[in-house]
Structure 1
Amino acid sequence: MPEAAFRFGDMPAPLPSELRALADGLEPAALGHLLNEGFTGPRHRHLAGRREPSLGMVVTCRSRGADNAIVHHAVSRLRAGDFLAIAREADDQEACLGGGLALAAERAGCAGILVDGPVTDVQELRQLAVPVWATGLTALTCKRRYEEGEFCWPISIDGVDIVPGMLALGDENGVLFVDGARLRACASEAKARQAAQAERYARVRAGARLAALNGTDEAFARILAEAER
Structure 2
Amino acid sequence: MSLDPDQLPRRFAALTTTHVADACLRAGVPVRCAPAELRPVVAGGRMAGRVLPTRHVGSVDIFLEAIDRAAPGDVLVVDNAGRTDEACVGDLVVLEARAAGLAGLVVWGLHRDTVDIRAVGLPVFSLGATPTGPQRLDPRPADAVTSAQVGRWTVGPEDVALADEDGVLFLPGERVGELFDLAESIRDTERRQADRIRSGEPLRAQVGFGAYLAGRAENPALTFREHLRAVGGAIEE
TM-score w.r.t. the length of structure 1 is 0.79
Superposition deviation, residue 222 in structure 1? 2.5
Aligned counterparts of 1:69 and 1:143: Cα–Cα separation in 2: 15
When the two structures are aligned, how many residues end up with a matched partner?
212
Change in 2 beyond 3 A, CA 1:75/1:17: closer
Instruction: Say which of 27, 39, 43 aligns to 1:45.
Output: 39
Does residue 1:111 correspond to 2:98, yes or no? Answer: no
Q: How far did 1:133 drift? A: 0.8
Name the CA shift for 1:204/1:81 in 2 (closer, same or farther; >3 Å): same
Compute the displacement of 1:57 (Å): 1.2
Question: 1:219 and 2:208 equivalent?
Answer: no
After superposition, the C-alpha distances for 1:11-67 in whole angstroms (9 at most, x for unaligned) are x9xx63345554442322112113242221212112216534x21111110003x43
CA distance in 2, matches of 1:99, 1:217: 55
Pair 1:68–1:222, CA change in 2 (3 A): same
Q: How does 1:197-212 map to 2 (within 5 A)?
A: 197-212=190-205
SS of the counterpart of 1:170?
A: strand
1:91 positional shift: 4.1
Question: Offset of 1:89 from its aligned partner?
Answer: 2.4
1:8 alignment partner in structure 2: none
Contact 1:166 1:177 in 2 (8 A): yes
Q: Which residue of 1 aligns with 2:120?
A: 128
Q: Which runs of 5 or more residues in structure 1 are unaligned?
A: 1-11
Supply the distance in 1 between the matched residues of 2:44 and 2:9 (Cα, whole angstroms).
16
Q: Which has the higher helix share?
A: 2
Unaligned runs of 5+ in 2: 25-29, 221-237
Letter in 2 for 1:100: L
Distance 1:216 1:125 in 2: 48
Task: Please tell me the residue identity of whatever aligns with 1:222.
Answer: G
- Provide the aligned C-alpha RMSD in A: 2.7
**Cα distance in structure 2, aligned partners of 1:180 and 1:101:** 26
- Aligned in 2, Cα 1:215/1:163: closer, same or farther, shift over 3 Å? farther
Percent identical: 24
Query: Separation in 1 of the partners of 2:219 and 2:35?
Result: 37
Q: Deviations over 1:110-148 (max 9, x none)?
A: 112100011111112222332111111111113696963
**CA deviation vs aligned residue, 1:73-125 (integer Å, no higher than 9, x gap):** 33344332111101112445211111221122112221121000111111122
Instruction: For 1:226 and 1:145, locate their aligned partners in 2 and report how far apart those are by CA, in whole Å.
Output: 61
Q: Tell me the distance in 1 between the aligned counterparts of 2:17 and 2:83.
A: 29
Cα distance 1:214–1:33, how it changes in 2: closer, same or farther (>3 A)?
farther
**Match of 2:106, SS?**
strand
The answer on whether the counterparts of 2:81 and 2:149 sit within 8 Å (CA) in structure 1 is no
